[in-house]
Amino acid sequence: MTQVATAETPVHEKQSFLSRYVFSTDHKVIGIQYYLTGGLMGVLGALLAGLIRLQLTWPTTQWNLLAKIFPTGMEGGFMKPEFYLALVTMHGTIMIFFFVSLALVSGFGNYLIPLQVGARDMAFPFLNMLSYWTIVPAILIAAASFFVEGGAAGSGWTAYPPLSAVPSAAPGSGLGQTLWLLAVALFIVSFTMGSLNYVTTVVNLRAKGMSMMRLPLTVWSLLIASIIALLAFPALTAAAIMLLFDRHLGTSFYLPAGLFIAGKVLPNTGGSPLLWQHLFWFLGHPEVYVLILPALGITFDVLVPFARRPAFGYRVTVYCLVAIAFLSMVVWGHHMFVSGMNPLVGEFFSIGTLLITIPSTIIGVNMIASLWGGKLRLTSAALFAIGTISFFGVGGMGGLFLGNAAADIQLHDTAFVVGHFHFMIGGVTMLAIFSGSYYWFPKMFGRKLSELLGKLHFWMTIVPFYGIFATMHFYGLAGAPRRYYNLSQYAFLEGVRWMPIVITVFAFTLLAGQLLFLVNLVRSLWAGEKAEANPWEATTLEWSAPSPPPHGNWGDEEPLVYRGAYEYGNPDAKEDFVPQTVPALKVPAHS
């Protein structure tokens, strides 16, 4: 087995452009690669959302420009149903796997973990590089699926059979679905490689003195998220393999007898779509916690230095993160309450789901309490972090309704669900990506993002976001189903016709607001105010490295850690913060 240089002093010959910026094994470069790639995919996913909104709001309008861009899907200027389903499917798939996962977990995770634990790089840098370059073909394949015959997959990001299992079922069920499966399979391989690195690095490569309870909450949350990802993804791999078999090899893992599709009775017998649902959601539910836990960890890391006081309840937060992670692995059935699943099993899932409320609430309270009595510095990063608490709380309440099996009978597959999960994996995670961006941009690039643009960006994000997804909850309560391409034909929605219009107006405002961020990003890379090593006066280890850190992070001497991650407001110290690397006796006292 090749020994990979990790904690040894780095000695580097001059590197070519390719090996330095393209096939780099440096976790910082890989982290930025992931972040930018994820960001690009986020833009793509947002554009797909724009198209979805156009269809849902004005289904009878003839969009001639769009017909030119999408000649098959928008033939004659009107959206075909299969194109709508493809949009919905790919919007979900791209946002979950290729935006949030990449930017938040892979991007920030790769960048921050070695820095925050005091290591020179990840445990296995070569594997790290491979993980990024596995994602690139995944993305290309997913994007290509739009252009193949039949278009992209249309079975939702959840890919339920028989729609996904029978290639002749719908236009997107052919090559589009196969490519979807391939892209997701490559994603799983990539993410597994990354998670292996994360766990190993946090366990084995922490600097001397960096005990587990001195780790920043970002690292804890990424560690825990990686563990549940490693435990949960294999089930989806197994399920996807069985789906490929059903599609191409004539098996019947998910196909029951008597299916009549595309004009003929299928010969399959003996399977059930319920099996797919179980295996998919065994991953699907932990997956959303893989996305949200790092968001919560990052929120703590951003809130604390801008409140100038220690995180409230650090230890309890760690225990709650672990509790949420464990519970998240045993509640997958709450996505299946109306599937015909055994109702006793359903009740077990319901109880477990509602139990998750407890550690989640404790974490939310700890976040608020971490602001209590603090000297608030309301920078853009801080605003986004506070917004995260808001989304977590409000969106989380929807979970109380959905977790109740009886209530879910009414709410399942309505816009209520869409509103709920957008708050959680759209809102909480996206705001965390932004707060993390404003916070760590100086570390990554040696310059600060514009605060003015940042604050504008904040308000143009949080207000429209509420407008869209809070309204969507009520739209769902009124009975509006999800994944329907044309709701204008239903009389029972007559009283709430104004809701999709309001949602769409806010949606386009939200999209426009993100332009502020893009402009800020690009401008600041070249013309942003230069930043020193520790512009926010923070305590965690990454701030004791230069901005940006060199290859190997720490120069000649690896850091030694003497204290916890959040020592702010120490009354005996001269400054109002004490970095983790400062030994006990050297804390400068008041004279």
User: Given the rule CB under 8 A, which residues bind another protein?
Assistant: 1, 6, 117-118, 123-124, 192, 196-197, 199-201, 203-212, 214, 230-231, 233-239, 241-242, 245, 249-253, 256, 267-272, 274-275, 278-279, 282, 329-330, 333, 340-342, 344-345, 348, 561
Of 87, 187, 86, 93, nearest to 132 (Cα)?
Answer: 187
For another protein, give the closer residue by CB, 51 or 239. 239
Burial 11-26 (b: 16+ CB within 10 A, else e): eeeeeeeeeeeebbbb
Minimum distance between the CB of residue 95 and another protein, rounded to whole angstroms?
25
Q: Taking each helix axis from N to C terminus, what angle separates 27-57 and 498-527, rounded to the nearest 10 degrees?
A: 150
Are the beta carbons of 465 and 531 closer than 8 angstroms? Answer: no
Are the beta carbons of 360 and 397 closer than 8 angstroms? Answer: no
Are the beta carbons of 165 and 255 closer than 8 angstroms? Answer: yes
Minimum distance between the CB of residue 280 and another protein, rounded to whole angstroms?
11
Alpha-carbon span 400 to 225, nearest angstrom: 23
For another protein, give the closer residue by CB, 282 or 434. 282
Minimum distance between the CB of residue 124 and another protein, rounded to whole angstroms?
7
For another protein, give the closer residue by CB, 185 or 362. 185
Q: Is 165 helix (H, G, I), strand (E, B) or coil?
A: coil
For another protein, give the closer residue by CB, 19 or 251. 251
Minimum distance between the CB of residue 324 and another protein, rounded to whole angstroms?
17
- Residue 372: φ, ψ to 5°: -60, 125
For another protein, give the closer residue by CB, 160 or 466. 160
Minimum distance between the CB of residue 552 and another protein, rounded to whole angstroms?
17
Q: How many CA atoms lie within 13 A of 438 on its CB side?
A: 29
For another protein, give the closer residue by CB, 277 or 388. 277
Q: How many CA atoms lie within 13 A of 270 on its CB side?
A: 7
For another protein, give the closer residue by CB, 214 or 309. 214
Minimum distance between the CB of residue 297 and another protein, rounded to whole angstroms?
19
Minimum distance between the CB of residue 253 and another protein, rounded to whole angstroms?
6
Are the beta carbons of 540 and 216 closer than 8 angstroms? Answer: yes
Alpha-carbon span 88 to 99, nearest angstrom: 15
Minimum distance between the CB of residue 42 and another protein, rounded to whole angstroms?
28
Counting every residue, how long is the chain? 591
For another protein, give the closer residue by CB, 237 or 361. 237
Alpha-carbon span 559 to 582, nearest angstrom: 10
What is the maximal distance between C-alpha atoms in the chain?
A: 88
Helices then strands, counting H and E runs in the chain, come out as: 17, 2
Minimum distance between the CB of residue 270 and another protein, rounded to whole angstroms?
4
Alpha-carbon span 129 to 541, nearest angstrom: 24
For another protein, give the closer residue by CB, 267 or 588. 267
